[in-house]
Chain A
Amino acid sequence: MKPVACFALLPLALLLAACAPEPPRQSAEVESLGMQAVQTHDAAALRRLSAWAQAPGPFAPLAARELGLALAADPARHAEALRWLAQAAHGGDAEAAFTLGEAYRSGGLGCRHDDVAARRWFERAAEADHPAALLALARAARNGVGEPRDMGKAAGLLLRASRRGSGAAMYLLSQAYAAGEGVPADPAVARHWLEQAAEQHHPAAMQDWALALEEGRLGVPPDAQAAREQWREASEERRNRWR
């Protein structure tokens, strides 16, 4: 399977860069190095990630993903980034697969917009229950992107994503239950997922939860004080939840 079409060959220098550093002992070590590489574009950190990604071991896919994410920050190195992300995804890294799916979906990382390729990568990430990938597949199903609209399928995917903690999925799932869209209408379930989404600080959910507290929607008992506090929380959180 080779769903990506926009790869360039890896520069030889990068392939030769492996000089056998101490292998990582835990995933946090790889991610820490990845954070350093993203933030500082430090060549030594990139070299070490590259070596880790190429040496066989349990953390090689993770190292490849972190290297891919670090290179993705540099438009001149998008082709390399995609290559490493694909290696990571093939090695079982769901986040890398999702990142590739998102690149094809949005036309990022130098990829041409391609819903078919996006779906393939999202599905791969969804095998590991990656919440954002499940959400992306749910949106495709509810909007009929590359498939007939299927609200039932969308709701099923939203539920899986919600159980994995996606606030955005919880919010859409709450709407599905409120409107009976793809699932039988059930205000109590709608309320549950709206509250959960607001707890996750999903901006729209925080707003709707505040409105529900004001007006007593979905069986929420009206509570003016709690509503005011929820509006305050939403205003503070907007600085953090804008991405």
Chain B
Amino acid sequence: MRFSLTPLASALAALALAGCNSGDKTNDIPEGTTLELAVLSTTDLHQNLLSYDYYRLADLTGSGTLGLAATASLIKAARAENTNTLLVDDGDATQGTLLGDFQALAQPVACSQTLAIYRAMNSLGYDAGGLGNHEFNYGLPFLSQTLNADLGVAGVAKPAGTCGAPNYPVVNSNVNSASSGVPILPPYVLLDRNYVVKLPTGENATLPLKVAVLGFVPPQIVDWDAKSLAGKVTVTGVVEAAQKYVAEARGKGANLVVALSHGGLDASTYSPKMENGSLHLTTVAGVDALVTGHSHLIFPAAREPNAPKLDASLAALPAATVDGSKGLVNGVPTVMAQSWGRRLGIIKLTLMWQGGQWVVQKDKTTVESRGLAYTDGTTFVTPDPAMATLVDAEHQATIAYAKQPLGVSTDFEMSAYFALVGDVSAIQIVNQAQIDYVKTFLANTTDTTLKGYAGIPVISCSAPFKAGRNGAGDFTDVAPTATPAAPFALQVRNPGDLYLYGNNNIQAVKIKGSDLKAWLETSAKQFAQIDPASSATQDLVPSYSTIYNFDVFYAEGNALTYQVDVTKPVGSRIVNLRYQGQPVADSADFIVATNDYRASGGGRFPGIDGSKTIIKSPDANQAVVAAYLRKQAGLTRGVNGAGRSWSFVKTATAGPVVLRSAPGKLAVAQGLGLAGVTAEGSVDASGYARYTIDLSK
């Protein structure tokens, strides 16, 4: 069947016809007909719907506005500006905020439910989406259910029936089922769209366009999520996948090919192992537009007034390949819309019918990574109020979850007010959790090197992370009312108080006794050198700026003990370092449970620079603490808060020594039996109370 081109008046008829037979209707398209299409893209949304920080329970609306509700307003504006649009997402949509963890881990969505982020995206009319590496964080069964897709992976069964899922196709072309070798999702989709075109006569008409959309993830997913992916899926390089499937899609009649590459731009020689291989996709014949992500950058350079400059890593790419101002890579229009819904990628393509096919007019293509304050650089768009209504139930449930009981009570106040004079009530539990994790890890390892470490003592260190760094109110104080008679039920968010830095992963290092001494000496740098003969007031801890580097060590049963002589200069303050009652020899071996920050050199502890790391784990210290707390029947001071591993060498001073802490906490010190804290003094200009410390007690 053939049909004639129709001016807009008969466009409806064409639309109707396009649905039943797309045969060779393009034969009659007049040479020179043009089609303008805006490919709109989001990337790395990371489950940010509303501008909200669930850990701090804080609304970020204002200069901190982000999230899809705000991006929705950009989408609306772009649709108003462009007759023909296609909306796509480049992955990393489902993980990132507490809302994501809540729906995946704490209270996993049932098959009948749709993830909040997908419900929001469904409401916006996405045309297609790709995966990001974080889509694999929650495992393949969860991915299968939430995409309502049989991944074809042995042992991963999609729940029966139709599960809640995106209402648009989700594609990926470089992850295959290990059991079958077949892609776990459709490698690409062919979208039949009808778009308004301009005929050479100047009249409008409507014509079908077959758009192929492909998706790619970094091959590193099999390492990053090895626990859930090893042996189940295999990955290929992005170029190899593109070479195969772009040609296939073209063979099936694709007029336009859009690649959704969840990776950044790296100009190094191509390797199928590279993490950010997007740049090389522009060398694959047939790719017309490239949507990138993963590195959370803005490409091309932002255009709003007072916009940030193009990121240095992008500016350093060879100019012959990458035009960071126009958004072209090897001539292929390329965009990256930062992250968390803060930008919308807009690739405006002009296609011209030339010699029997649609040809992208590169000189008429524009690319923009449009920010939420795109009009004047300061006024943020108003988030779409409908979105807040749409996801309100999930939003409220997440907030309630943060405040929900963790399932364990404590019979003592866990605070950091006096952590610098020996109290461990908020630190010991972290150390106990870390030791438990590392011992369990070593007990279950199949690694022959690690097995050889059986018998080496596992000890742990952690710091009072919230101990005055951000002012007199910034001290950990979990369960201030707790007593044995009235224990306090810990909440889901409390592990975040006990272990502040949610970015840390647990690691273990293997060190010598000499390293341990040097480590403790470095921790002890936090103390001023006290002159016992001075009659002046001396501040025991002059600055709290790097208090996260005050590592307090602990071994089970409080078997590791040491003393700090603050009258001595930095580097010679640690004395009486003992393990199980015996002095620690320089040659003794220890395995220390800590975090990746410290293990890789954070705080500049001698010799601790990544070279002694023996265990690396994808598990957050915060999650390790939470899991350990959940395993306990109840926390008691005797078992979890009184294991004071260190004390000061007793010293009489002529003048007063003071410790700055939150005002009104003398009773806390007394309750802890800290005899050295003798009085609460005046409050200084910054709001800290100055407690008198008697170092002779």
Chain A residues in contact with chain B, CB under 8 A?
Answer: 27-28, 31-32, 35-36, 39-40, 75, 106-108, 110, 136, 139-140, 142-143, 145, 168, 171-172, 175, 179, 196, 199, 202-204, 206-208, 215, 225, 228, 231-240, 242-243
Cα A139 to Cα B505 with chains together (Å): 22
Q: Are B505 and A179 in contact (CB under 8 A)?
A: no
Cα A108 to Cα B343 with chains together (Å): 45
Q: Are A199 and B312 in contact (CB under 8 A)?
A: yes
B607 at the interface (CB under 8 A from A): yes
CB B241 to nearest CB in A, in angstroms, measures 10
B240 contact set on A, CB distance < 8 A: 28, 32
Q: Mark B544-565, 1 if CB is under 8 A from A, else 0.
A: 0100000000000000000000
CB B302 to nearest CB in A, in angstroms, measures 15
Chain B residues in contact with chain A, CB under 8 A?
Answer: 46, 63-64, 95-96, 133-134, 137, 178, 219-220, 222-224, 234-237, 239-240, 269-273, 296, 311-313, 340, 448-449, 452, 501-505, 545, 596-597, 600-602, 604, 607, 609-611, 616-618, 620
Given known contacts A206-B503, A235-B503, A239-B134, is B597 in contact with A28 (CB within 8 Å)? no
Q: Among the interface residues A36, A168, A179, A238, which one has the most CB atoms of the partner chain B within 10 A?
A: A238
Q: Are B609 and A236 in contact (CB under 8 A)?
A: no
Q: Are B505 and A143 in contact (CB under 8 A)?
A: no
Q: What residue in chain A is nearest B230 (Cβ atoms)?
A: A39
B296 contact set on A, CB distance < 8 A: 233
Ordered by A's residue number, 12 sampled pairs between the chains whose C-beta atoms are within 8 Å are: A28-B240, A28-B271, A31-B273, A35-B219, A35-B236, A39-B178, A39-B235, A106-B449, A175-B601, A179-B604, A234-B503, A236-B96
Cα A236 to Cα B618 with chains together (Å): 11
Given known contacts A199-B312, A236-B96, is B452 in contact with A107 (CB within 8 Å)? yes
Q: What residue in chain B is nearest A181 (Cβ atoms)?
A: B604
Q: Are B448 and A75 in contact (CB under 8 A)?
A: yes
Besides the contacts A28-B271, A203-B503, what 8 more A-B pairs have beta carbons closer than 8 Å? A35-B219, A35-B235, A171-B600, A172-B601, A175-B604, A204-B600, A225-B63, A242-B616
Q: Would you list the 7 A-B pairs with minimal beta carbon distance, nearest first?
A: A234-B503, A204-B602, A39-B234, A139-B611, A235-B503, A242-B618, A235-B502
Cα A196 to Cα B313 with chains together (Å): 9
A143 contact set on B, CB distance < 8 A: 607, 609, 611
CB B615 to nearest CB in A, in angstroms, measures 11
Cα A75 to Cα B446 with chains together (Å): 10
B597 contact set on A, CB distance < 8 A: 203-204, 207
* In-complex Cβ contact of A36 among B133, B223, B234, B501 (8 A): B234
Q: Are A142 and B271 in contact (CB under 8 A)?
A: no
Q: Among the interface residues B235, B240, B503, B611, which one has the most CB atoms of the partner chain A within 10 A?
A: B503
A31 contact set on B, CB distance < 8 A: 237, 271-273
Q: Are B600 and A168 in contact (CB under 8 A)?
A: yes
Q: What residue in chain A is nearest B221 (Cβ atoms)?
A: A240
CB B262 to nearest CB in A, in angstroms, measures 12
CB B550 to nearest CB in A, in angstroms, measures 15
Cα A235 to Cα B658 with chains together (Å): 36
